[in-house]
């Protein structure tokens, strides 16, 4: 299988699982000290990961949680941000300029920052008050932070049970990639040169649809996309879909699924290129049925890794290339 080393993948995921007890310790300490509200702050991909767990919190929690795009937050402010707020960030590079500025701003307000920073010697790793560092494992971080805050708020009583099952995720996600490889390859072969593709998600996968369109297809493949939520689709975007349009659906198993079903049924009546990636197609050994909706972002992310690998190969466009980002100033 192209660019896939099962053992290496599983090893890396297992190491990422090791972050969870560290996150728990930090969140417990923050909760013990007390806080007024929680700000998840990111930009580009990182804010879309925060949206995915925000969706989970919104349905299941009364946490005072705000998700902010770092640049918007800095420019516009949020009046609910105060000295007792806690900020939560994530950065792979550790030097994303808008996030660096947001952390600097938080510190001027006396706000403490929890950060998952992949590069331990980067500016952000040195700046945050509570550092988690690891090579990869974003979802483990965001889930542990969110669910632990909820648990400490008297919500999500299945916390321990869920975290025990999460130990099965590395193997399950390796299976997902193997299972989705052929479909991902067929998709990439057929649609690699489309002038425009629509990506749709709902619930905890709306953030992923937005992210995959913007951070992978636009940024790393220079493919034109529009992401649209299954809810909004019927209020404008449907009118531009024609027989030969290309619409990719990311279907998960949370309560947003019914919105995707509705869109999928409709699309089949007007469009011949409806591609469905569905978390239901994967077994997820060791994950209880009741948690499948909750973990849909983990699953879809793994499924899409194969799409990325095949798009990269079919388009002969390595994912690392950028035309402008970090080349031109802005």
Give the residues lining the site for a copy of itself (CB under 8 A).
Answer: 43-45, 47, 55, 58-62, 69-72, 75-80, 98, 195-196, 202-203, 206, 213-215, 218-220, 222-226, 229-232, 234-240, 254-256, 258-259, 262-263, 265-266, 269-270, 322-325, 328, 330
- 131's tokens: 């550092």
Contact 103, 115 (CB under 8 A): yes
**HSE-up of 322 (CA within 13 Å, CB side)?**
8
Complex with a copy of itself: residue 10 or 276, whichever CB lies closer: 276
Complex with a copy of itself: residue 105 or 266, whichever CB lies closer: 266
> CA–CA separation, 230 vs 260, rounded Å?
6
- Give least dist CB 166 to a copy of itself, A: 22
Complex with a copy of itself: residue 65 or 299, whichever CB lies closer: 65
DSSP 272: S
- Give least dist CB 47 to a copy of itself, A: 8
Complex with a copy of itself: residue 16 or 311, whichever CB lies closer: 311
> Which among 254, 245, 276, 282 is positioned nearest to 263, based on CA atoms?
276
- Give least dist CB 22 to a copy of itself, A: 27
> CA–CA separation, 290 vs 197, rounded Å?
33
Complex with a copy of itself: residue 22 or 60, whichever CB lies closer: 60
> Which among 206, 173, 199 is positioned nearest to 59, based on CA atoms?
206
> CA–CA separation, 153 vs 36, rounded Å?
12
Report residue 324 CA to chain centroid gap: 23
Contact 24, 144 (CB under 8 A): yes
**HSE-up of 65 (CA within 13 Å, CB side)?**
23
Q: 123: Cβ–Cβ under 8 A, 6 or more apart, which residues? A: 94, 95, 100
Complex with a copy of itself: residue 20 or 67, whichever CB lies closer: 67
- Give least dist CB 121 to a copy of itself, A: 23
Complex with a copy of itself: residue 215 or 275, whichever CB lies closer: 215
> CA–CA separation, 166 vs 14, rounded Å?
10
- Give least dist CB 208 to a copy of itself, A: 14
> Which among 138, 172, 157 is positioned nearest to 52, based on CA atoms?
138
- Give least dist CB 60 to a copy of itself, A: 6
DSSP 90: E
> Which among 226, 217, 262 is positioned nearest to 247, based on CA atoms?
226
Strands 130-132 and 273-278: unpaired
Complex with a copy of itself: residue 173 or 223, whichever CB lies closer: 223
- 72's tokens: 């918007």
- Give least dist CB 77 to a copy of itself, A: 5
Helix ranges restricted to H, 85-168: 97-108, 123-127, 138-152, 159-166
Complex with a copy of itself: residue 43 or 302, whichever CB lies closer: 43
């Amino acid at each position: 299988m192209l660019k896939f080393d099962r053992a290496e993948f599983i090893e890396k995921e297992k190491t990422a699982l090791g972050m969870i007890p560290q996150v728990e310790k930090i969140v417990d300490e923050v909760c013990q000290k007390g806080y007024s509200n929680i700000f998840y702050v990111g930009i580009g991909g990182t804010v879309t990961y925060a949206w995915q767990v925000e969706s989970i919190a919104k349905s299941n929690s009364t946490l005072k949680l705000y998700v902010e795009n770092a640049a918007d937050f800095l420019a516009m402010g949020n009046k609910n941000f105060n000295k007792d707020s806690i900020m939560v960030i994530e950065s792979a590079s550790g030097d994303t300029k808008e996030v660096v500025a947001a952390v600097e701003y938080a510190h001027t307000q006396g706000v403490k920052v929890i950060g998952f920073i992949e590069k331990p010697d980067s500016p952000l790793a040195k700046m945050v008050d509570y550092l988690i560092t690891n090579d990869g494992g974003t979802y483990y971080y965001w889930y542990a932070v969110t669910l632990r805050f909820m648990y400490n708020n008297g919500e999500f009583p299945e916390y321990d049970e869920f975290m025990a099952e999460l130990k099965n995720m590395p193997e399950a996600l390796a299976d997902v990639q193997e299972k989705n490889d052929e479909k991902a390859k067929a998709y990439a072969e057929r649609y690699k040169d489309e002038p425009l593709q629509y990506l749709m998600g709902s619930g905890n996968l709306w953030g992923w649809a937005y992210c995959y369109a913007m951070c992978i297809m636009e940024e790393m493949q220079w493919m034109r996309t529009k992401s649209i939520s299954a809810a909004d689709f019927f209020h404008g975007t449907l009118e531009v879909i024609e027989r030969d349009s290309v619409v990719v659906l990311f279907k998960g198993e949370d309560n947003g699924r019914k919105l995707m079903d509705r869109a999928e049924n409709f699309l089949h009546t007007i469009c011949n290129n409806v591609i469905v990636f569905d978390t239901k197609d994967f077994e997820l050994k060791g994950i209880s049925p009741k948690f499948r909706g909750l973990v849909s972002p983990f699953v879809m992310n793994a499924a899409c890794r194969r799409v990325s690998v095949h798009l990269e190969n079919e388009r002969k466009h390595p994912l690392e290339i950028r035309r402008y980002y970090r080349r031109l100033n802005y």
